[in-house]
Copies of this chain bind each other. A is one copy, B any other.
Amino acid sequence: MQQGQNRITQLFNIQYPIIQAGMIWHSGWKLASAVSNCGGLGLIGSASMYPDILRENIQKCKKATDKPFGVNVALLYPNLEEIINIILEEGVKIVFTSAGSPKAYTETLQKEGIKVAHVVSSTKFAMKCEDAGVDAIVAEGFEAGGHNGRDETTTFCLIPNVRKHISKPLIAAGGIALGSQIKAAMILGADGVQIGFSFCCDYRSKCAQ
The 0/1 profile, CB within 8 Å of B marked 1, for residues 158-169 of chain A is 001000000000
B183 and A187 contacting across the interface, CB-CB below 8 Å: yes
Known interface pairs A187-B184, A188-B180, A189-B180; A154-B160 also in contact (CB < 8 Å)? no
A175 and B188 contacting across the interface, CB-CB below 8 Å: no
**Interface size class, chain A:** 20 to 34
9 contacts between A and B (CB under 8 A): A141-B154, A142-B154, A143-B154, A143-B156, A154-B154, A155-B156, A156-B184, A160-B180, A181-B188
* 9 additional A-B residue pairs with CB within 8 Å, beyond A160-B180, A160-B181, A181-B188: A143-B154, A143-B156, A154-B156, A156-B156, A156-B175, A156-B176, A156-B184, A184-B184, A184-B187
